[in-house]
Structure 1
Amino acid sequence: MSDAVRKKLAKRFGSEERSDCQVLFFLEPEPEPERTGAASSVSSSTEHAHEHALATDAQGRVLVGAPLPAHSHVLSDGSERFCAELERWKVGAVAAAATGAAGSTAGAGAAAASDDRSAAASSSSPSGCAAADAHAPHPAKRQRVDGDGAAAAAVPATATATAAAPPPPPPPCPGGRMQLFVGLHHPDELRLAEALLRFMYTGEVSLRSAADLLRARPIALRLAVEGGVEACDSALRALFSTTHGSDASTAKSLVEELYTCRALLPEPASSAGADPTGPQLRAVLMASCRSAMVRSCKGMALPAAATAAPAAAGSGAGAGAAVAPAPAAAGAAPAAVPVGELLAFAFEDALAVLNNATALFKLRQLPAAALEALLASEGFGTDDEASVVVLLAEWRAANTEAAAQGDTLKRLLRQVRWPHVCDEYLLHVVPRVGWLGVSWERAAWLSSYARATLSSTRAALEVAALTYGASYELDAPGHIARRRPAARPLGARPFSMEVASAIASQASLDGAPFKWTDLKVCARGFMWTVAVAAAVDGCGVRLACGAPRVLASTFVGHAYPGKDVTLQVLNAAGGVACEEKSGTCHRCVGIGLSRVLKVKTGSQEERESLLRDGRLHGEVVWWE
């Protein structure tokens, strides 16, 4: 397309020049699952809110703004939805024309037979022609209609009788142009929808803020605008790509902007392909936020403590001071977001960090003060506090010098919410790791304290703990804090392994060593892996659960968490061929490995039904 044609087409947006249709915007009920996000989006865009002209058409739709002149060839090429509506208009117009022609032919005889009576009526009543004109149908136009249908009562009897027939297509607007309706969930969405329609003419999205671009994505999906979602995604990526080259304050401001409209972010996993590019966009934006926060927190220092005892007593206040660094607190706006909440937003939850190598690398780069603010935040989620212990161990392993300075490690450990660590971790892992500072006695005490349901029981345990001095850290912020928010469920994690050669060798399951698959998932503080070994009539698959390497150097042993985990082996079609459940409800084996799940692949038919390209496929499913 030449530049002249492109410029001319762009100028025709909203213009009456060669316009053959109109786009009308109306308010429609909002789907229930989207109301939370939409409410946040409306509040986040109050700076763009303005008064809209509202009116009600003959069909009862509440119209927003003025009709927008448009061009059918642009709309049909730019949106499958508009193309389908235009086709319905054409089919309906042809049917209406045919119906009108048949009606006029059938009524010709009746009209001729009543000529004398019409002439007599006309001569006796001079106003007869005007009365007939008053009852003639008029083109539909916008009018205000009461909720009880007052406008419908004004319709003449002839129109009521005609309504019994199948309704004709919507009449064209004045000038013979067609009308296309676009539903909005809020009047503020008018400018977003117009921006997407402008995109059909210009190929560019005129929106600039993160909130507007995120709110425009679902509208582009509803209107089926070709390339509209991708254009919004590209604009968002371009907006947050500047965090890599900008200064720390600018990078942080972009994170704050995205934080204010976080409810509009697409979900990590789309449902039924409704938003195919959403999960990838979310991953890119969150990665940019983590990089920006690491640069923003660079040089952040822990507040100094005078003595050990006052520091323990006032640790909660110290953590609060670390959440908001001094430069931001000096001239910050009243609604400034604490650094700890921004960090919790960027890193999401413990599972999202531990099972993402890039996110874990960024967390290791945080200074101690930023990590303390993150652990103190009420927005940082986890599946179990044991995963937070692993997170702290990963940071300590990468920052040995910083962790050894003064009471840095002690301050960080005081943010661990020990009463919410699962018993498996408290009784099998934690006391074996010396630097965690939890003795066997304290681990047993924490286990009893966590199971106590009455406040009086917990008070009695706290009184008994005072005999051990300050070693139990009863005044630590982590001890008195509530349970962290739940992390996003892991769901199903796939694995695969090439087993054709092992099966062909017919090696013994007892004598052949297990080979580990590519699956490594950290959950509830443990590292989960799947191993496969050959058997006489097939192969054996087992699920192993052990302490992560960052902790495993101090002890040997494995333990199963208390939640149900299912090991599934899939067939060639992707269905479940066999499965084995683990956890407290399904034959928990305690310390050690899980039972072996035997898979029969001895015959050629069994191998063809189970293997895909010589590989065994399966999933490990974590149930909520």
Structure 2
Amino acid sequence: MEAFLSPAAAAEELGPVVGPPLPAHRGVLRSCSKRLAQQLAQLEEGGAQGQRPAIATTAHDGADATGSARGSDSAPVFGLGATTNTAAVVAKPVLRVPLGSEAELPGALAAIRFAYTGEVAAASVREALEVHKQATLLGIEGCGAVCCDRIRSLLIRASVAMQRARCAPGCAAAAGTTSPHGGSGRNIGAAAAAAAASPPHQPFLQLFECPDLLWPAGNSAGHPGFAALLKFARQLLVAWFGDALAVLNSPELRGQMVQLPPRALEALLESDDFGTDTESSVLLLVAEWMAVNRCRTDAATRERLCRQVRLTHLSRAYLTSILPLLAADSEAGPNGTTGAAAGCAAGAATPRRRSGVGWFPITIAEAALIAGLASASPEERSALESLIGDTYDINSPWYGSQPRLQCLVAARERVFGWHVTLTALTAALAVVQEPGGEGGGGGDRTTWVDCSTGFGAGAFANGFLWKPQLAIPAGGSRGDVNASGDGGGGGGGTPCLVLGCHLPRVFDSASGSSALLSRRVSAVTSINARLTVHRWAAASAVSSAASAGSSGGGGARDGAEEVTLSEDEFLAVGDTGYGLPLNALGPSPGTSSPAMATAAGGAQQAAAAAAAPPPVGWSAYLNDGRVTGELVLLPHRAAEAAEGGH
């Protein structure tokens, strides 16, 4: 047997022969493949009638398909490739197998070896699929099933590794979750670390990454187990990513998600086991993927993926603000402009749209209709669907009435630890005390200090970014900080821990999917959450001052201050609110040491801050050189009610 490239070169009937010869035995080939048996019969019949016995005559030398030496009395009938050895030319029939490329040769060789050994030695999912393809083309019976078994064993091995990761100390499953990545918010950091420590190319990801040509078609004869295999891979895929909140709040998982091929993302989105807090987070997840992959996909693929979003379950903020703007982008087309629709002043230059916009294929009219359906009574919805059934695809997930699995339940609260370093705090206090500066000289502005969550500048929930910040008013006297960040009166106020709601960066005009959104989103939203700041015993502050400058040593927790945020309290997207006054601050909070007060900006200021004792009044909140706390995402009322009803 010889392998040749197909289609052939223009001047030849057959393409060039590739690979070394692979002698084999007639009996083996007849028993393993009806197709090969038929071809052998035709060749032998031609030889018996005085015709040339095969397509080509080769010199056969070396070992057979099992790797054992051949004697002269063996009956090899095929070799993969041509040979230049003409020492002993024996006229024997030669079968030639067409290959799409030379890269398919290892799969064809492995398929022939299976006829002798009954085994498939594939080290990866792709290798097993390549053997499966060649075995199907050659009609080698039983090889496809063994290839599927090999893939299943690789998937089971990955499943066992995932179970071990969940059971590792600090991982999510230790808190009784079903996902290795963020099922328990208290361990969401450890879960993300488990993802980072795991092999980046999991077998179930390899399966979805393989090109279409390697996938067996459907569930037809020759590979009846592939459909079940694919179902198992989908289950592992969903278990790996867990839910939309886990993906959005884990840099490792988010990075893997945006690298998924379209069919893997589609499998994830269409699964009823892929949970979320709201469908808005799912749409945000799709936007993140499109920001990276839009240029690599065609319109049909993008529509197929976008159709998996269950639009009638979007939050009101997304239904009334985000979705209409995505529809406006889609209707404008790739060559449209933002123009007057973006609120440009008369006579102003009209900005050209970026190539990344218009990825969500929905019209403004259909977006409005879906928003209406979302709030309609069952009777009204039924009547509307009867009316529009001939115009819109109401069987699409866009119109589906079944919400996704709720990932925020009482047993799976998501807890994001946050912190502010003493260096950042000291630098901010220096700013508010500078004479004539932003916070000095009787100014009434507030200095904002971002709290790091370990996952970036905040946490994603309800389709938005929620950022905890310290708001430090000018002056340092008692008072309140209002929602817009201005200090009360002209004399400053009490520093507060605040939580703000922000449009995700992927929707920002400078970097995201739409050039319109950041200037036109007018929405209010809410969150069920608990915002906490830790307090520490006085010994902790003494330790902070005494050891390692201000870095401090571990102290005893002395309670916490917290505020619970309800979904009945609304906040405009882009605003900062939900303030928690830091009432444990001592007299004249923010008073600094002379070293800090005289420090210059930049690195000099940071060095002075690191060497300075804790700012006066902040000792109750400092431990190990940091102010710390938690942002806890709580279940929605509807989810709590549903859980209580079971």
TM-score by length of 1: 0.49
Between structures 1 and 2, the one with greater helix share: 1
